[in-house]
Each structure stands twice: as C-alpha cells, then as structure tokens.
Chains A and B, each alone.
Chain A
Amino acid sequence: MKEKLESLKQEALEQIDQAQTADDLQSVRVSYLGKKGPITEVLRGMGKLPAEERPVVGELANKVRQVIAEAIDEKKAIIEEKAINEQLEKESIDVTLPARPVHVGGPHLLTRMISEIEDLFIGMGFEVREGPEVETDYYNFEALNLPKDHPARDMQDSFYITEELLMRTHTSPVQARTMNAYKGNKPVKMICPGKVYRRDTDDATHSHQFMQVEGLYVDKNVRMSDLKGVLNQFAKQFFGEEREIRLRPSFFPFTEPSVEMDISCKVCQGEGCSVCKKTGWIEILGGGMVHPRVLEMAGYDPEIYSGFAFGMGPERIAMLKYGIDDIRHFYTNDRRFLKQYHQA
C-alpha cells in the first residue's frame, strides 16, 4: 500500500509539473483527488487492512493528498501570474504620448488680486462691504468733501447719467454709506472692493472702467501711526517681508493729513532702476486720516471719533507685480492672457 501511495504521489507531481494551463491542473486535481480518484480508493480499501496498519496508511494517504493539493495550488499561482504578465505585456502603452486634457477653468487675475487683498484685511478684522456702481452725486462727491463747485468734480471726468446720478468714480461712497448705516455711534472697520468708472480714453495706462479696493477704519482714538502700522502689515504680507514702506504727504479731499505709500522697488532693491523711475520706490496706494467734514456728514463727531482710509488699484498693483505692460489686457479677456494667471 505504501509503495502504491508513493508512486501515485510521484505520478501526480510529474503531471502537475507538466501542466500548462488552469484546465490541465483541474484535470490533475479531478483525477487524483476526486471522489473516484486513486487516493480515495486507497482510503476506501482501508477496511481490508489489519487494524494496526490502518492508522499508518491513513496518515500516509492524507499526507500524499495534501502534498498533491499544495503542488496544484502552487502551480496554479504560477500559471495565473504568467497569464497576468502576458496580459500586462499586451496592455503596455507609450506613456510619453500626450494626456487627455482635464478641462478646468480659472479666475480672472483681478479677482485673484482682490481676494488676496480681502483675505489679508479680513485677517486684520475688516469686513467686506459693497455698494452700487451707479451712485448719487451726494455719496460719490458731496459726502466725501467734494462740494459742487470743487475743481476735481468736472463733468468731463465722470460718466454722468443725470445731474444727480453717475457711474461711481471710486468705491469711497461705500464708506460713506456704511458710516451712515452705522449711525455715528459704532466703529467702522471695512474694505470695499469694486468696479469704478472714469471718463478716460482707454490706452496703455488708462481704462474707463477699473477696480479699486478702499479701506476705512473709524473709532475713538484712531491715530495716524495706526494707519502706518496697518498698511505696513498689509504691504509686508502682500509684497513680501523684505519690502520697506514709506509714507509721503499727499492730498485727497476726503483725508487730512493725506499720504501716499511707496514700497521699496523689488527689481533694484531700492537702488534705482527704470521700473521705479530711478527713485528706488514704487507708489502703491493713497490714504490718510479721514477728513473731519466727512466724519461730520456721516454723523460721526470728529471731536470724539477719528479714522483712517486708504485706497489702491488692483490693476496697477498687478501690473507692477507681474510686469504687465498694458491695462487693457485686463478687459480684453484674451484667453492667452487669462490662462497665465490660473497658475498656483
């Protein structure tokens, strides 16, 4: 019996070794391990054996059975792997061929600039306010200390609709509206981004429509040094830690004292070059302490309240930051221009 089992084992292992396909293996499995197979037969015939031999032969038969089953599984894994490898070889592609493009759009550069500015000021506790683009003469001019006969209020410079209505020339009316809404007894800390309009002929440096972001902070005891501190923080975050700022006296009807802010030129590190007109400085924004007339008209007592305001042009800042040579690019919406600023 032992000899028979040993030779069955040898026979089966040989056949397994020769098997090429999963089917070959299956027939080996059926013929040796099946219900009608020789090993089953041996086990069935055990009754005829003497009692003391039975456990020995039984154990051997089971062992042979196990060896064959394991050999089949092993071989099966080899055959499957081979089949997979053959499949993979067939599937191989030229990975250097061009990709199927994923269609993703992107924001306009001005939107990016404005969001970035908004986020910086939000971080400093400013809220974002918006207002109408068609403004009343009162909010656009008068409430900002530009009375009717003011030289800066030439009809030639603004797009009037009626004598009392015009396309807003700055986003400052949103400041006046917000102060009015707060009724003179609550601090105001806001920025107002948006479109503004001037009666200019479009050329490389002028656009009849452009963007502005203005800011306003009114509270008790607001100091000019606060303006300097806030603008400094903004400039360092927006333009880089290494940039210096400087304030220069200037003039706006709605602020007094008024300032213009320059940042040190990045191109020449302040040495003087063509970008900064050899001054080492680049003008970035205007601002100042809110004019007492503006506070008064909005219902804030200038003896108690003071404040600062500032304003900047996202186009100008973008032009400086990216070296863009013509303001009209922002409104032509040439895909080749827009795409450049979809980058991270």
Chain B
Amino acid sequence: MLVSLNWLEQYVNLGNDTPEALAEKITKTGIEVDAIHHVAQKSEGVVVGYVEDCYGHPNADKLNVCDVNVGEESLQIVCGAPNVAKGQKVAVALPGAVLPGNFKIKKTKLRGVESNGMICSLNELGIEEAYLPKGSEDGIFVFPDDVEVGQSITQYLNLDDVILEFDLTPNRSDALSMLGVAYEVAAILDEEVKLPLIELDESNEKATDYIDVDVQAKEDNPYYGAFMVKNITVKPSPLWMRNYLMAAGIRPINNVVDITNFVLLEYGQPLHAFDYDKFNAKQVLVRRATKDETINTLDDQERVLNEEHLVITNGEKPTAIAGVMGGSDSEVDESTTTVLLEAAYFEPKRVRRAVKDHQLRSESSARFEKGVDPNRVKEAGQRAASLLQTYANGQVLEGVSEFDQLDRSHKQVEFTSARVNARLGTSISDDQIGIILDKLGFTYQQDGENFVATIPTRRQDIVRFEDMLEEVARIYGYDQLDYTLPQGAQQAGGLTQKQSLKRYVKSYMEGAGLMEAITYSLTSEARSQQLVSPEVASVHPTPVRLSMPMSEEHSTLRLSALPEMLATLSYNSARKQQDLGFYELGSVFVSKELNVTKQPEEQTRLAAALTGQWLTHAWQQEVKKVDFFLIKGVLEGLFERLGVKATYKPVQMDGMHPGRTAQIYIDSVPVGFVGQIHPLTQKAYNLKETYVFDIDFDHLATVYDDVPRFEKIARYPSISRDVALVVDESVTAHDLIETIEQHAGHLLKSVHVFDQYQGDNLEDGKKSLAFNLLYLDPDRTLTDDEVEASYQAITEAVAKEHQASLRS
C-alpha cells in the first residue's frame, strides 16, 4: 500500500513531524513502513505558462518556436516536443531554474533562434515514468484550463508529496484504504478523523426504475447495491485526483474509471462501473457460473468459468467475475453516458477461489479477499456517485437498487485491566486503557477494571482478548514494556545425549580432515536411486516424490546424501579445487509404502567423500592420493572413539567399484558401506578416483559405548610375536584375524596386519599376510611358555581352517 501524505492530510491532521519521524511512529506502532519516496526532487522556478503562439522553427523541421505567457511577461521558447500547440497551458522552466538531475536552465540559442527557458514533460520534472498517465509518456505535459498562469507547478502536480510504502501484514487489511490509514495515524497522533463529504443532488428518477437486483447466491453476495448515474461526460479526471492516483501507483485513465479507483483507495471498497447501455438489461443477476461458461475480461482474455465462481450477469450472460474483474462487453469508454455503479460485499472465500483459478489478482480482489468493511459498502457507492456528479457532470438517480442481507453487527470484547497487565508485565491504569481505546476509536463501557469494547467493523482482525491485548500494547508502546526474565521454576537446559553425540561426531570428522557440507534434501528421482546403502536398499524403499515439484532436479527426497555430495565435489573440481574431503550428517527419508500415506522414516546418516590428493607438500615432492584405506581409517578412528567394533565384508553395489567396496557390520548388524565409486560413476560426476562411505548414525547412537569403563594401565611388560602366513588369495585378512582371535586365548591383547606380500618366492594364487600378536596380562609378567602355547594354537587353527602355512 502506497500512502500519499498530501492525500492522507485530507482526513487527518498530520502535525509537524517530518515524514521520516511519522514513518518511524507508524512502524513502531504496528504497520511497517518499508520505504519513504519523495515524489520529485524540488524543482525551483518552474511555472505554468500559456502558449500564445506556436510556429515552425525557420531552420529545423522538428522544432517549434513558441511565445509563452508566464504571468508577467511573454517568453520566446524553442520546443522540440511533437505535441506542443497554441492555446495549451504548460510547465515552463524559467531561466535560472534547476531541474532534477541538477539540470540548469539558461537562455540560449537553438539553431539561431533565441530560447528563454524550457517547456517540460512530467518525466523531466522528476516523476517516475510508471506513474504517468497513459499517452503522456512522450512529450510535454498539458495542464487543464483551470490552472493559473504564472503559478508554481509544485502545487498543481503534487511534486512536494511524500509517499510511505507500507508492508502490511495479512491481519491489517483495514489499512488497505486511506481512511483506514487515517484511523491508524489518528490513534498514533491522538487526532480526529475527518470523513469525506458526500453531497448528492439526486434527480427525480429512481435507480430502481432502471435496474433490478436479484441475488441468487445469497451467501456469496450478502449485499449488492446498484447506483445509476445518467448524462455523464467521460473526460480526464481533475488534476488533483490524477495526482493522488499516480502517487498510489495507479495510472489515471478517465474520470469514471479514476473515480471508482479513487474511492477504492479512499474507502478500501472496490466498485465497478458498467456502461448501462452496453449492459443492455434492466436486471442485475448475481449467481454462480455454470460449467464452461465464458467471459471476456477487461484484460482481453477469455476466461472459462465453473460452478465455483461467482458472476455478475445481466440475466443472460456474465458481465463480471464478482470482485475480480469486469467484462469487456460492458466496459466504460469515451461514448458512455449512463453508468451502472456496483457497490457490493463479496465473500472472501469466493473471490479467493476465482483469483486462484484464473491467476488474476487486482486491486479489487486484494481487498475483497480480506473482507471489506460491511458498514462502508453503501457509503462508498454514494461517495463515488457524488464524485461522478461533480467531475463527470452526471445526474445521480434517487436511491439505490439493492439486495441486502449483510451482517453489519459489531463484535464486543470483554476484558479486565488486571489481565492485560498480567499478560504484558505492565501496570497500565484503568484510565490509561480507556484513553488508548479512545485513541483507537473503539467505543467501550467501563466498570472499574472491567471493560467491554465495541470493535469497529473495519477491524475484523479483532475477535478475542489477545487481539485486544495487542491493540493496547501497541498503542501503549512495545518500547514501554520492561525487560524481565521468566519467573517460573528454573530448569537446566541442555542437549540430549544423541545431540551431544552428533556434535562429537562432527568434531571428530573435522579433526580427521573433512569439511562439513550441507546439501539439499530434495534431489532428482534418478539421483535418489544412486549409492543407496545395502541395508537401506534391502527394505525396497519407495522414492518419496513431491506432488508438485518445481523442477525435476529437486523432486524427490534423498535416501543418501552421497549423490548430492558427489555433485558438490564435481562443482568444486570444476573450479580447480580437486583435493577434497566432505562429510554430512543429516536425514534421509525411507518409506516402505508403495503409495506414500504416512511420514517416511527419517534416518540420520553420516556420509563422507574423499577425492584427489590427501597430502601434498610440493617442495619435498610428497604426494599422497586418497585411497580405500584412508577413508577406512577415518571410519575406524570413529568406531574406536565410539567404542564399537566394525567388520567389513566385500559387497557388490550399483555405482561402486566391485572389488573395492565393503559392507560394514556392527555386531553383525549391517550399518552402511565404504568404498571407491565405480569409474562410470566417476565419469558421470566428472571426478577422479573418489572414495565414499555412508553409515547409519541412528544405529551408532544406540550401540555406542557412552560410559567407557576404566581399564587398568598395564604395569607388566607385554610380549610381542610376529607370524607370517601363506594362504590362498581368496582368504581375507578378516578371515585370518577371526580365527586367530578365536584360538589365541585370553592373553592376546591385539592382532594387526603389518605386511601383505605377493610375488617372488610365492606360488601363483598365494599371498603372505604377516601379523603382529601382542600378549598382555595386566596383573603379572607373562612367561614365554604361555605365549608359545597360544602361538601354537593359532598356527594349528589357521592351518586347519584356511590351509595357511608358516612363511619360511
């Protein structure tokens, strides 16, 4: 909503505040002023001039030489505008004038002819092009005849006006009108609202002789009033009205249209003017449209209607979509002489439906959608009729033809000052509350601390105590409230164990060298199928798709963060950042229903991806590429810190390297996978060798060791033994370690691989794996015999179970 202060001044005394100070007051009280526009920078020395004569320039085809009376003298001015003509009243910048943009006017000679000033267009005077009346974009501005020659143009063109741009919240539709704003400002400044004067000089003929109103859809249209105005002259509206409309961002068209727009802005009540002759009936019939009925609206579009839409008809065919837009068949134009003026109340829901179905928002619908003031509908019609009488020479017929079942009752809200103070934390006196209600223009009854306020119908947002509370609080001033802290019982705040674990895991991942990424949860359906961890894939999740995605790219809920993370790697690689390690801890969405009806299971998963070089130290020629065992190391470090032991088994997965991917188990529960992405996946994402993992954080959070038990620091020496075993290639390190751990006895503290060898001195198809065995008893010194016994048991067991021989 754009609010012209010059216009607003007509309804309420604005006092001496600067526009900025006024805007600040309005903002602090409840309506945010988003911006303050000054219509034009000051133009000094621009006056109204009368073109006494105008003839062609002797030396230039496109120029004219004009003799212009500027009050006390007549000046010769050369003008290049095509529309300049003898007899016009125009804006003349006198020598010495300064126009916006610091453009100084001087006496000069143009092609040999003296020119003592400049005849100006509105644009040159600093008015934004968007607000200029139709047809006046090019060329000079021509004033109506009633302006006085020699006077400054400022008052005529409203150039000193300041416009406040309101950012209205949905509840404050009352401020979608100048009068509504006037009530708001009056409350803030403690002033009275001056309502417009309506003086009707009605003729003897009755409106009802010309038009009947028949409303069939009574719920949709509880009030319809039809006013009749005869013998009008369609012409430009008065300059002041055009100025106000332009200030409000509405382009002036002609007096009839301008008057309906003016009253729409003044009262917040949309009106519609039909050309009565083109309407071509003595009856207005309001009903629901029938299926596939059509109407050509004013914007030259054919609209196909249905039973959900309310239409105004002449008894035969639709002439308007109620509250939204009129039809072109009955449009007012230059030849119109009789106007049928509609002032009605349309149900917000009905209007909203038409707006939505036809994607057609208008100044009218914006107000009907919120609900107009039922007590101002008819008055607004009368106001427009009186303006038509004055500015279109119209003859207003007596009365109005109407249908009326409109509820105009006022709501009442009861409250006590004690409750107001208890909720606000204030100590506002009863008298002060009374004063606030007076300022708001609410009538009320008071008995001590008990109030019953009657709410004006323009404020449909106020229905209960809390709404009243806000009214009192905002007029009292939010900045008058104290700063207090809650008095209730204090509780300790904090994170849950799982939330703390999330933070721990994140900081571990960062310490391990990875950066946190946050990618989109919505991905393409194709990507949602990629790199889904085997234990998730095994439940056959249905990709959860949005019903109306904005793009295929973000159409489907992810089952893994990895595809979007690979896209992130790709994005960075393409920008010469090829050495990357990212992780993300976030939700994936698993639904097992074929047709989704319930919320999918939201699993928190930890995903990571590494690519490029992990270590580069240029001048020492040290380079270490990322590899499987690096990413596995990141995982193992995590598992160690969570006190869980994971096992790895080779797995085949779409999109992953068949020989370099492992499924991860914790206590035989599958929790994710780790591996190298397939060369084809690499290629699809434009990446080099890339390693990833994706694990189920929720499961980790249930099995991790949250209170590690104290373990004695060993006081006795450990004994270390090495064993190198030769086995078939197909035997994994994991297989051997499992057997070793099973047979070594309780003294074996740890076993780890320190060498793998294939090649010379070994048969084809064989490999050697060397293990370091560490024995320890925390309570005593071990003997060699004990260790030797365990060693024997191990070698026998691996020979039996894996045909392993000792490497000589």
Contact = CB atoms under 8 A, between A and B. Distances in A.
A232 interface: yes
Contact of B577 (A256, A330, A336): A336
A252 B581 CA distance: 42
B496 A159 contact: no
Given A221-B422, A247-B479, A338-B517, A100 B484 contact: no
Residue of B30, B170, B488, B495 most packed against chain A (CB within 10 A): B488
A229 B27 contact: no
Contacts of A125: 490-493
A100 B493 contact: no
Interface stretch (B198-206, B381-389, B468-476): B468-476
Contacts of B571: 332-334
Interface in B472-488: 473-474, 478-479, 481-488
B668 interface: no
B577 A335 contact: yes
Contact of B466 (A162, A164, A250, A291): A291
A328 B193 CA distance: 48
Interface size class of B (residues with CB under 8 A): 35 or more
A105 B512 contact: yes
A317 interface: no
B272 to A, nearest CB: 23
A251 interface: yes
Interface size class of A (residues with CB under 8 A): 35 or more
B369 A331 contact: no
A97 B169 CA distance: 62
A249 B30 contact: yes
Contacts of B514: 105
A130 B491 CA distance: 19
B625 to A, nearest CB: 13
B548 A187 contact: no
A96 to B, nearest CB: 11
Given A128-B499, A224-B424, A258-B470, A251 B169 contact: yes
Contacts, number: 253
Contacts of B699: none
B492 A223 contact: no
Interface in A148-162: 149, 151-152, 154-155, 159-162
Nearest to B500: A128
Interface stretch (A30-38, A69-77, A195-203): A195-203
Contacts of A183: none
Contact of B547 (A162, A195, A219, A232): A162
B405 interface: no
Contacts of A136: 599
Interface string B9-33: 0000000000000001001111010
Contact of A226 (B27, B485, B489): B485
Given A161-B546, A251-B169, 14 more contacts: A98-B619, A104-B510, A125-B493, A161-B544, A167-B546, A221-B487, A226-B425, A228-B481, A232-B483, A256-B467, A332-B571, A333-B571, A334-B571, A335-B572
Would you list the 4 A-B pairs with minimal beta carbon distance, nearest first? A225-B425, A223-B425, A251-B169, A257-B470
24 contacts: A100-B620, A103-B614, A104-B510, A123-B493, A133-B587, A134-B544, A149-B349, A151-B170, A159-B549, A161-B544, A161-B596, A167-B546, A197-B522, A219-B486, A228-B478, A229-B486, A230-B485, A249-B470, A250-B169, A256-B467, A258-B470, A332-B568, A333-B517, A339-B515
Interface of B: 24, 27-30, 32, 34-35, 169-172, 349, 352, 356, 369, 422-426, 464-467, 469-470, 473-474, 478-479, 481-496, 499, 503, 506-507, 509-522, 544-550, 554, 557, 568, 571-572, 575, 577, 580-583, 586-587, 589, 596-600, 602, 614-620, 622
